[in-house]
Every structure is written in structure tokens, then in C-alpha cells.
Amino acid sequence: MPAELEQDLVEWIAAMQRCGMPVERKYIIAKASTMLAVAAGRSMPTCTTPMRILTSGWYRRFLQRHPSLSNRIAQCIARVRNTVDGEGTSILFNTLEKLFIEMKIDGMRIFNMDETSFMPKTARRKVVAVRGSTNVWRKETKPSFHMTM
């Protein structure tokens, strides 16, 4: 694979990590194989023109040629937890404060019921990430969620 294409692949891997969608080994091999096929002037693979798939040996050498990449374990974080910001938190607490005053709610009517915020441990995945990253997060979508602040 030409060096220019490999550099594009490295940039794609870094961009996917920044978006919270770090890529696994099999996706890197598939993406590189597709890039190589397109660069060679071949169309997408069909039954009569199968695409040459790069091997795990190529993948190992690719990581050796690009020391800025390393294998990591991605930690899962729910998308809703990742999007909490200071403004949203301020709005929530200001709204609660206003309602407490309007409805004359005292401390006797406040209950701590955050037991549902404990989520079962989700599966972690091996991914490729930029070396030196402190944490590698993988966004996940849950049909329902509980959030404690």
C-alpha cells in the first residue's frame, strides 16, 4: 500500500477515535483493502472480481510503520453521559430550584433513589488508538438510561 494511502488511513483512525468511535483491527483491514482496490482502479468487489484482502501480517507491519498508533482497550460511555455540559446542568438545577420554591417543597419530601443509575458492565473492545491518549472512549447507544449528577 502506498505511503500516502497509509497516512490517510492513520488520519482516519485518529478522526474516528476523536468522534468516540475507535476502530477495531478488522475494520482497519477492511478499510485499507477498499482503499487499495479503489487506488488500483478496481470497482467495489463482486463475485467475478473479488477484492484482494490485506492480511494480519500487513496489519502488524502497518502498526510497526506507524508508532503513533497502538492497541488499546476502549471504555464504554453512554452517549447521553458524554453530552452533559455545564449549561445543561445549570438549567436543570435552576429549574428544580424554581419548582421547589413555587411548590413549597421542603427537605422532608426529597428522597434519594439513585439505585437505578448503576448500569451493568458492558463489553470492552480492543481498538487501535493514537499513542499517548489518556483514555479511549467508545460511545454506545442504550434504549433507556438513568443518569445521576
Note whether 93 and 52 are same-domain residues.
no
| pLDDT for 147 beyond 90 | no
Note whether 29 and 63 are same-domain residues.
yes
Note whether 76 and 87 are same-domain residues.
no
Q: Stretch 7-22: mean pLDDT, rounded?
A: 90
Host H or E run for residue 92: helix 86-102
Note whether 8 and 76 are same-domain residues.
yes
Q: What is the mean pLDDT of the chain?
A: 78
Note whether 51 and 94 are same-domain residues.
no
Residue 145: the pLDDT is 53
The domain tally of the chain equals: 2
| pLDDT for 52 beyond 90 | no
| pLDDT for 20 beyond 90 | no
Burial 103-137 (b: 16+ CB within 10 A, else e): eeeeeeeeeeeeeeeeeeeeeeeebbbbeeeeebb
* CA-wise closest residue to 147 among 67, 92, 105: 92
Residue 1: the pLDDT is 82
Q: Which residue has the higher pLDDT, 31 or 19?
A: 31
- How far the first Cα of the chain sits from its last, in Å, is 48
Does residue 147 fall inside a structural domain? no
Domain range enclosing 105:
83-117
Residue 96: the pLDDT is 86
Residue 108: the pLDDT is 78
* CA-wise closest residue to 89 among 148, 19, 137: 148
* CA-wise closest residue to 79 among 23, 1, 21: 21
Note whether 134 and 70 are within 8 A (CB): no
| C-beta atoms surrounding 81 within 10 Å | 16
Model confidence band, residue 103 (pLDDT cutoffs 50, 70, 90): confident
| pLDDT for 39 beyond 60 | yes
* CA-wise closest residue to 62 among 21, 125, 14, 1: 1
Does residue 110 fall inside a structural domain? yes
Bridge partners (DSSP) listed for residue 137:
75
Note whether 39 and 101 are same-domain residues.
no
Does residue 125 fall inside a structural domain? no
| pLDDT for 28 beyond 90 | yes
| pLDDT for 45 beyond 70 | no
| C-beta atoms surrounding 62 within 10 Å | 19
Confidence (pTM): 0.60
Note whether 100 and 35 are same-domain residues.
no
